[in-house]
Amino acid sequence: MSDSGHVSSVTSVGFRLSRSGRFSGETDPLMERFNASLPYDKRMWKQDLEGSIAYAAALGRAGILKDDEVKKLQEGLRAVGKEWESGKFEVKGGDEDIHTANERRLTEIVGPVGGKLHTGRSRNDQVVTDVRLWLREEVRALISNMKNLISVATERAEKEMDLLLPGYTHLQRAQPIRWSHWLLCYAWQWKRDVERLEGLLTRVNLLPLGVGALSGHPFGVDRHALAKDLGFDGIIPNSLDAVGDRDFILEYLFASSLIMVHFSRFAEDLILYSSTEFGFVSLADAYSTGSSLMPQKKNPDALELLRGKSGRTIGQTVGLLVTVKGTPSTYNKDLQEDKEPLFDAADTLEACSLIANGVLSTLVTNKDKMLKALDLPMLATDLSDHLVRKGIPFREAHHVAGAVVKLAEDRKCSLDQLTVEDLRKIHPSFDDSGPGGMWDYEAAVERRQTDGGTSRRAVGKQIEELKAWLSQ
């Protein structure tokens, strides 16, 4: 998509845009295919026409085009758009990219005045404008999808506050937590994802158009007015940076990769929780598949694909970083390689955000299985905390609690079957009441009252904070 500074030759159907007067030989057909980007950048047809309609108005304000020429060009561009919308647009030989295709068709419709549209403009500033317009819409749509997902998690957390299950570290049972607390763990990660996207949007929504190939516009186009017409927040102030910058794409790919990492971890938890061994949740049939051989199987394919596609998006990020790192300043043809990873990541994120929403909205929890997975050794920390409240140093209390657990293991009994005498033999601080109702999962959860904890009050506060943020 580099600009060749071409001097187009007039033909009976308009302008041949893919070659300039500088060249006399024919292009190798293989090179034409190698060079072309229309097969994938045609998805930006709407943005390309939108930018051209605004650019025609800018040329009119600069006195380059007469009012009737601006009107004719804009009407012609809208006619091209209708052909794209209806599926009637016909791609022809020499349509190297979406820009040459649209301008070629425009010239066929309006005649030689179509050749005036490119005055002072380069494909270098045109293409990156198209990408920014396209990505702006994608980011806003993704933000909406992610907020919907957070809303689903928050609503479930509020409704399912009573459910308790093991919390894990090292994939070993650690302490009891609320199911709601687990849901909100991911809601907060997704909130950070949204905030990253919102920050990115401020850097995406800047106008590069009007700087030409690299050095600026020779006809006094008002770039600020052009930015306003296209809904940009401002302009990119340096012409060299404007045509060569792909940071905003890399930043989007990084943000996408991190979202996919969060989806992958979320999926991994639910893959485990939905397995026969755990059984905490059941996935809806809509997001599961069967086995081609084993009729009893219900496979969590939606979740496995969420996990698997994270590698794809991370790979796109690394690939483009490597492509961009070796390019000198301004535009180089290497930068044409930005669109395929961008489009692929955007398509992946759209699908994954909707699938994650569907999975979370429809899964069914199994309260009995969650409770059954809780065991009293998970309350050993609470036992040490009980001793700390009696004035025992934590390190000593921790050692005592460990000895209590070992005694129960040696006797092959549960912790609540140990007598007060058994406990006193380990440490004299145990009184006649023993651990004092220590072996209660709900009470253990409710002891975590500090902000960020898993008690009902602390989880409820998280829910209210997320609701308030979503309402803004």
Cα–Cα–Cα angle for 461, 196, 339, rounded to 5 degrees: 145
3-state class (DSSP) for residue 174: strand
**Using an 8 Å Cβ cutoff, are 151 and 230 in contact?**
no
Q: What is the pLDDT of residue 330?
A: 96
For residues 265 and 230, membership in a common domain is answered with yes
The length of the chain, given as a count of residues: 472
Q: Tens digit of pLDDT for each residue in 26-41?
A: 767 776 777 778 999 9
The answer to whether 97 and 124 are in contact (CB under 8 A) is no
- In the prediction, which pLDDT does 7 show? 35
| Predicted pLDDT of residue 400 | 86
Asked if 70 contacts 64 with a C-beta cutoff of 8 angstroms, the reply is no
Look at residue 462 and tell me if it is in a domain. Answer: no
Tokens of 298: 């219900």
Domain shared by 102 and 180, yes or no: no
Contact 51, 230 (CB under 8 A): yes
Q: How far apart, in whole angstroms, are the C-alpha atoms of residue 120 and residue 102? A: 17
**Euclidean distance between the first and final Cα of the chain, in Å?**
41
Q: Is the residue at 469 inside a domain?
A: no
CATH number at residue 408: 1.10.40.30
Sign of CA dihedral 67, 70, 76, 82: negative
Q: What is the pLDDT of residues 111-156, one digit of tens each?
A: 999 999 999 999 999 999 999 999 999 999 999 999 999 999 999 9
Please, are residues 441 and 381 in contact by the beta-carbon 8 Å criterion? no
Residue 433 shares a structural domain with residue 313: no
Pairing outcome for strands 234-235 and 206-207: parallel
> Sorting pLDDT into bands at 50, 70 and 90, what band is 3?
very low
Q: Are strands 14-16 and 281-282 parallel, antiparallel or unpaired?
A: unpaired
Nearest Cα to 355, choosing from 263, 270, 291, 274?
A: 263
Binned at pLDDT 50, 70 and 90, residue 182 comes out as very high
Q: Using the 3D structure, point to which of 331, 355, 372 is the last residue of a domain.
A: 372
pLDDT band at 242 (very low <50, low <70, confident <90, very high): very high
My answer on whether 148 and 262 are in the same domain is yes
Give start and end residues of each alpha helix (H) in 230-338: 239-244, 247-273, 301-325
Give me the domain span that covers residue 51: 9-119
Give 104: exposed, middle or buried? Use CB within 10 Å, 0-12, 13-18, 19+.
buried
145 shares a domain with 40: no
Answer yes or no: is 459 within a domain. Answer: no
Co-location of 260 and 143 in the same domain: yes
Q: How many of the other CB atoms lie within 10 Å of CB of 292?
A: 7
Do residue 199 and residue 219 come from a single domain? yes
Residue 450 lies in a domain: no
Residue 431 has pLDDT above 80, yes or no: no
Report how far residue 141's alpha carbon sits from residue 151's, in angstroms, rounded to the nearest whole number.
15
SS3 349: helix
Active-site residue identified among 9, 144, 215, 291: 291
Same domain, 354 and 405: no
Mark which of 372, 407, 426 sits at the end of a domain.
372
Kindly tell me if the per-residue pLDDT of 1 is higher than 80: no
Does the annotation count 170 as an active-site position?
yes
Would you call 163 helix, strand, or coil by DSSP?
coil
Residue 296 lies in a domain: yes
Instruction: Identify whether 407 is part of a domain.
Output: yes
Q: Which of 103, 99, 105, 84 is nearest to 130 (CA)?
A: 99
In terms of pLDDT, which residue wins out, 390 or 212? 212
Maximum distance among all Cα pairs of the chain, rounded to whole angstroms: 105
Range in 100-114, 173-187, 275-289, 305-319 the model is least confident about? 275-289
Same-domain pairing of 294 and 349: yes
> Could you tell me which of 140, 283, 260 has the C-alpha nearest to residue 189?
260
In a domain, 297, yes or no: yes
Q: How far apart are CA 254 and CA 182, in angstroms?
A: 25
At which of 372, 398, 428 does a domain end? 372
48, 185: one domain: no
Task: Indicate which CATH number applies to the domain containing 265.
Answer: 1.20.200.10
The reported pLDDT for the residue numbered 390 is 81
Amino acid at 27: T
Task: Specify burial of residue 42 (Cβ count, 10 A radius: 0-12, 13-18, 19+).
Answer: middle
The structural domain count of the chain equals 3
Q: Residues 89, 140: one domain?
A: no
* pTM confidence score: 0.89
Q: Rounded distance, CA 180 to CA 455, Å?
A: 10
| Under 8 Å between Cβ of 155 and 138 | no
3-state class of 10 per DSSP?
A: strand
pLDDT value of residue 428:
83
Identify the active-site residue in 170, 292, 433, 471: 170
List of residues 6+ apart from 382 with CB closer than 8 A = 438, 444, 447
Q: Give yes or no for residue 321 having a pLDDT over 70.
A: yes
| Ramachandran bin of 177, using left for φ above 0, alpha for ψ from -120 to 50, beta for the remaining angles | beta
* Inter-axis angle of helices 247-273 and 179-204, nearest 10: 170
Residues 105 and 224 in one domain: no
pLDDT at 87 over 90: yes
If DSSP codes are grouped into helix, strand and coil, which group holds residue 6?
A: coil
Residue 6, pLDDT above cutoff 50? no
Q: What whole-number distance in Å separates Cα of residue 67 and Cα of residue 52?
A: 15
448 assigned to some structural domain: no
Which residues lie below 8 Å from residue 63, measured CB to CB, with a gap of 6+?
none
CATH of the domain at 66: 1.10.275.10
Residues 6+ apart with CB under 8 A from 276: none
How far is Cα 136 from Cα 155, in angstroms, rounded to an integer? Answer: 29
Nearest-angstrom CA–CA distance, 26 and 18: 11
